[in-house]
């Protein structure tokens, strides 16, 4: 049974004009594209760590720009900026050992951090309900993140750029399906990839069905 608060949040989705939702999804895809470009560079590098399963490294390394663009249109944020840590007043770098390893040159790392943090901020201000699904965060984290100023986020991006990682770094199944979208020989319906990403991002079946209904 859907609670009254959930009905309100679902209604927020339905109030969107198509152009607004398209703009949001285009923003998400653009930032995903930047992340995938960074992952491809990391995969080709022989000196830096690769933040996804090693079995994906060779596949990511050969992605063309057009293939990365297709993979970026999965419908949810692929970057993890540890927004829950930000909402608790902590720096963006989480205590995980993985977050301490540099996987990009510092300039590119800062640029990606700016895009992810400010893109998340824009999305949260555009619609907190949609942000919860596309970013995969709690309502409390959305509220706390909205209170951050742009200048503060820019400082966090400069000081803690190593905190930006791909989401689900140990989910080989999820990333395999995302990367398969770039292959024209793969017959998987693009919407099935979006559903898969929503499954691990938002979890709740009602959220997923509402989102897909908007895309129809």
Q: How much of the chain is in helix, strand and coil states, percent to nearest 5?
A: 65, 0, 30
CB 68 within 8 A of CB 53: no
Total domains present in the chain? 1
pLDDT tier at 114, thresholds 50, 70, 90: very high
Is there a domain that residue 29 lies in? yes
Is there a domain that residue 13 lies in? no
* Phi, psi dihedral angles at 56 (to 5 degrees): -95, -10
The angle subtended at Cα 110 by Cα 104 and Cα 114, nearest 5°, is 130
Percentage of the chain modeled with pLDDT above 70 = 69
pLDDT surpasses 50 at 34? yes
Integer Cα distance of 28 and 79 in angstroms: 10
DSSP single-letter state for residue 169: T
Is there a domain that residue 203 lies in? yes
190 sits in which H/E element? helix 190-201
pLDDT tens per residue across span 76-109: 999 987 776 665 555 444 444 455 568 999 999 9
Is there a domain that residue 3 lies in? no
Domain that holds residue 96: 19-215
Residue 82: C-alpha distances to residues 68, 69, 122 (Å): 23, 24, 16
pLDDT tens per residue across span 154-202: 998 998 888 899 999 999 988 998 988 655 555 455 566 777 777 777 6
CB 200 within 8 A of CB 185: no
Is there a domain that residue 114 lies in? yes
Is there a domain that residue 10 lies in? no
Is there a domain that residue 101 lies in? yes
Residue 80, strand partner residues: 165
Is there a domain that residue 194 lies in? yes
User: How large is the C-alpha radius of gyration of the chain?
Assistant: 17
Integer Cα distance of 96 and 32 in angstroms: 22
Ranges 1-5, 53-57, 194-198: which has the least confidence: 1-5
């Amino acid at each position: 049974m859907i609670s009254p608060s959930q009905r309100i949040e679902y209604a927020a989705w339905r109030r969107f004009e198509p152009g607004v939702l398209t703009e949001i999804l285009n923003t998400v895809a653009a930032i995903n594209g930047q992340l995938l470009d960074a992952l491809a560079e990391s995969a080709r590098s022989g000196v830096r760590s690769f933040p996804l399963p090693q079995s994906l490294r060779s596949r990511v390394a050969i992605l063309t720009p057009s293939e990365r663009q297709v993979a970026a249109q999965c419908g949810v944020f692929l970057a993890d900026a540890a927004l829950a840590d930000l909402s608790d007043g902590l720096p963006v770098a989480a205590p995980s050992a993985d977050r301490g390893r540099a996987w990009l040159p510092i300039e590119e790392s800062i640029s990606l951090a700016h895009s992810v943090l400010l893109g998340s901020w824009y999305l949260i201000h555009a619609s907190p309900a949609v942000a919860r699904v596309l970013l995969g965060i709690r309502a409390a984290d959305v509220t706390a993140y909205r209170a951050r100023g742009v200048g503060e986020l820019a400082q966090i991006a400069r000081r803690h750029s190593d905190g930006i990682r791909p989401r689900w770094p140990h989910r080989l199944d999820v990333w395999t399906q995302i990367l398969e979208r770039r292959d024209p020989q793969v017959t998987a319906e693009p919407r099935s990839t979006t559903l898969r990403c929503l499954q691990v991002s938002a979890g709740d079946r009602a959220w997923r069905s509402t989102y897909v209904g908007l895309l129809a």
